[in-house]
Structure 1
Amino acid sequence: MRKRTKARQIALQFLYQIDLRSDEVLDQQSDFITSTESCTEVKKYALELINGCRNYWSSINDAITKVAKNWDLSRMAVVDRTILRIAVYELLYRKDVPQKVVINEAINLGKRFSTEHSGAFINGILDNLKKM
């Protein structure tokens, strides 16, 4: 598995916890990442994704809300919402990752960790965002 793919999976797991339990889990961030991965590059990118999503949480949520027609953010599955946050962060704030890679990675995360329909759902929202 590629390093950034692994980092996205780690970020997904931790951001999922933040979504459910709020900032009470923040003091566990380093321990979680260290216990999950040994590769320095993977840990570094996972941390960048987590912190980036947290720093831009409101603007990421606003971007998703604007393009998610007929979907309220709170009605989305937590896993899908978290995958979208990571992808939107990378699309809007990480110019070092090609858009096509971000979208493909998000779709694959949805297929792997959510429902059979999540890939299409995630693709639709990210495609709408890309068009803006």
Structure 2
Amino acid sequence: MSARSKARKRALDMLFQADVRAEPLERVVEAEAARAAGEPDRLASWMYAREIVDGVADHAAEIDELIVSYAQGWSLARMPNVDRAVLRIAAWEILHNPEVPTAVAIDEAVELAKEYSTEDSSRFVNGVLGRIGEYASA
């Protein structure tokens, strides 16, 4: 697994934890930073995970608005917590990280959804992100 794939998983863990526990994201990030400091072999994945989480937080309103717009009848509250976090990560990469091709962001998100969410989530995530990708390239 690449460092960026590991970073996406770490970002997913942080966003999911903050969401489910209704904890401030900053507190979750601080705890993860302390853990990462004790594990130097995970430094590469930590740096990108932090960039993702900070990016999602900085652009939360825009990202959530696009997700809801393209989710066709699904509110954020109705989505499984994992799907919501996966969509936010990939949407940030598509919209705000030019180093990551849209297809890679979508593929990585679909894989996370397959591994951590419901049976139908990967198709849902793929559809929403495909529309966000089209929007971003327009």
Runs of 4+ in structure 1 over 6 Å off: none
Aligned to 1:31: 31
Question: Does 2:129 align with 1:126?
Answer: yes
Aligned to 1:11: 11
Gaps of 5+ in 1: none
CA contact (8 A) 2:15 2:25 kept: no
Compared CA separation, residues 25 and 69, structure 1 to 2 (3 A) = closer
Aligned to 1:42: 45
What aligned pairs does 1:1-132 form with structure 2 within 5 A after superposition? 1-35=1-35, 38-132=41-135
Equivalent-residue separation in structure 2 for 1:114 and 1:43 (angstroms): 23
Equivalent-residue separation in structure 2 for 1:24 and 1:5 (angstroms): 24
Q: Deviation of residue 34 (structure 1)?
A: 4.7
CA contact (8 A) 2:94 2:105 kept: yes
Gaps of 5+ in 2: none
Equivalent-residue separation in structure 2 for 1:46 and 1:96 (angstroms): 15
Equivalent-residue separation in structure 2 for 1:82 and 1:130 (angstroms): 17
Compared CA separation, residues 32 and 127, structure 1 to 2 (3 A) = same
Equivalent-residue separation in structure 2 for 1:90 and 1:45 (angstroms): 11
Equivalent-residue separation in structure 2 for 1:122 and 1:16 (angstroms): 16
2:128 maps to a residue whose letter is: I
Compared CA separation, residues 18 and 107, structure 1 to 2 (3 A) = same
What RMSD in Å do the two structures reach over aligned CA positions?
1.6
The two structures have a TM-score, normalised by structure 2, of 0.88
Equivalent-residue separation in structure 2 for 1:8 and 1:94 (angstroms): 13
Aligned length: 132
